[in-house]
């Protein structure tokens, strides 16, 4: 009986905490369960979830990418500048940031896979480099429509209305960014669960030497994981620029910790005990629900992190305490 209760707590502890949080806000706030509010919650987590998917992929291969937030910042200002400074077509506006994200992923892979620098140190260094590059590129300014330069001249371009639909448009009342997110979560889940390459990623992360002996090209697998992490962070940067309609410096700074929190909550969802994209999505939903509910309750914004941290600790503690007990 004890083993069954511990197994139940391990598999569903985090879900119970999430349901409890949602029920609390649903009872306290009469408009919480409206369609528009629920879609707003999903819309608010679209950017951080794309970033968190990248972190998930790096963790699957037993790595960790601290540079994703800086990548969001860089790709956000580059995306805006391509339209506002250089009046580039939409295809260029989308492709260039994705290439930048892939290059950052390749740089991380070079440092980690080739030079064997520990992942935390390598991506920490990359984070600082990218942070400096994006501030230098933007000259410390937010990039907005017809912005004025220090010499008194003004930028000729503005944000493309079609591009703004990515972050601001809706289809049947659902934000387009949410539709893209749901499709991506489903596609990545299928890739990781049902394809040979997804299984190779988990095998590589579980035991790199055993994966190598079984014929898996572990260096290639780890490299592709970091490249994918960079690309997903770049997608987050593109959506960010579309959502706010400008290129804001340091846009991705707060996203790193929120994405990491979402990923680690995902460890405990349904007792997975490992990085998984469905769990990551649910972890992001928890963060979104907390922010939305606290805002609707008019709780002062500077206390939000305290509440978010406390609930995240509870969700993780319920699962991992039981998991460690079951192993002893």
Give the number of other Cβ atoms within 10 Å of residue 91's Cβ.
Answer: 8
CA–CA separation, 282 and 288 (whole Å): 10
Residue range 5-16: mean pLDDT, rounded: 68
Q: For the chain, what is the mean pLDDT? A: 90
**Which pLDDT value is given to residue 328?**
58
DSSP 8-state class, residue 162:
H
CA–CA separation, 234 and 78 (whole Å): 10
> Could you tell me the residue ranges of all domains in the chain?
1-29+254-328, 47-252
Q: Taking the alpha carbons of 191, 197, 203, 208 in that order, is the dihedral positive or negative?
A: negative
- Band (pLDDT 50/70/90 cuts) for residue 13 is low
Higher pLDDT, 287 or 88: 88
User: Which among 225, 308, 209, 324 is positioned nearest to 273, based on CA atoms?
Assistant: 324
Residue range 257-279: mean pLDDT, rounded: 82
Paired with 154 in beta bridges are 148
**Which pLDDT value is given to residue 90?**
97
- Band (pLDDT 50/70/90 cuts) for residue 251 is very high
Q: Taking the alpha carbons of 144, 159, 87, 47 in that order, is the dihedral positive or negative?
A: positive
**Which pLDDT value is given to residue 323?**
59
Tokens of 325: 């007990």
Tokens of 86: 């250089």
CA–CA separation, 67 and 52 (whole Å): 12
User: Which among 272, 277, 119 is positioned nearest to 208, based on CA atoms?
Assistant: 119
Residue range 128-140: mean pLDDT, rounded: 94
Tokens of 274: 């490992």
Give the number of other Cβ atoms within 10 Å of residue 303's Cβ.
Answer: 10
Residue range 80-100: mean pLDDT, rounded: 97
Please state at what angle helix 2-28 crosses helix 277-296, rounded to 10 degrees: 40
pLDDT in tens, 144-163: 999 999 888 999 999 999 99
Statement: residue 192 has pLDDT above 90? yes
- Band (pLDDT 50/70/90 cuts) for residue 41 is very high
CA–CA separation, 132 and 113 (whole Å): 24
**Which pLDDT value is given to residue 303?**
85
Kindly report which listed range (14-18, 150-154, 200-204) carries the lowest average pLDDT score: 14-18
CA–CA separation, 25 and 75 (whole Å): 35
């Amino acid at each position: 009986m004890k083993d069954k209760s511990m197994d139940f707590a391990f598999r569903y502890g985090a879900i119970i905490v999430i349901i409890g949080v949602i029920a609390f806000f649903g009872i306290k706030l009469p408009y919480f369960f409206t369609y528009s509010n629920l879609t707003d919650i999903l819309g608010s987590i679209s950017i951080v979830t794309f970033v968190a998917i990248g972190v998930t992929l790096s963790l699957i291969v037993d790595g960790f990418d601290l540079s994703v937030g800086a990548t969001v910042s860089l790709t956000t200002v580059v995306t805006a500048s391509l339209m506002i400074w250089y009046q580039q077509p939409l295809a260029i506006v989308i492709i260039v940031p994705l290439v930048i994200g892939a290059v950052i992923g390749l740089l991380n892979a070079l440092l980690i896979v080739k030079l064997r620098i520990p992942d935390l140190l390598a991506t920490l260094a990359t984070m600082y480099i990218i942070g400096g590059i994006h501030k230098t590129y933007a000259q410390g300014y937010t990039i907005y429509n017809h912005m004025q330069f220090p010499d008194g001249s003004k930028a000729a371009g503005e944000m493309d209305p079609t591009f703004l639909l990515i972050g601001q448009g809706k289809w049947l009342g659902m934000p387009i960014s949410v539709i893209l997110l749901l499709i991506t979560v489903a596609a990545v889940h299928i890739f990781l669960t049902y394809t040979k390459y997804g299984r190779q990623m988990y095998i590589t992360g579980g035991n790199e030497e055993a994966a190598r002996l079984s014929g898996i090209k572990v260096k290639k697998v780890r490299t592709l994981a970091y490249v994918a992490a960079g690309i997903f962070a770049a997608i987050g940067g593109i959506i960010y620029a579309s959502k706010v309609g400008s290129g804001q410096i340091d846009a991705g700074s707060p996203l790193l910790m929120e994405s990491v929190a979402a990923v680690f909550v995902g460890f405990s969802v349904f007792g997975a005990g490992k990085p998984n994209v469905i769990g990551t999505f649910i972890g992001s939903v928890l963060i979104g629900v907390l922010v939305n509910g606290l805002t609707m309750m008019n709780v002062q914004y500077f206390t939000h992190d305290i509440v978010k941290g406390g609930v995240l600790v509870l969700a993780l503690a319920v699962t991992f305490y039981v998991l460690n007990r079951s192993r002893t």
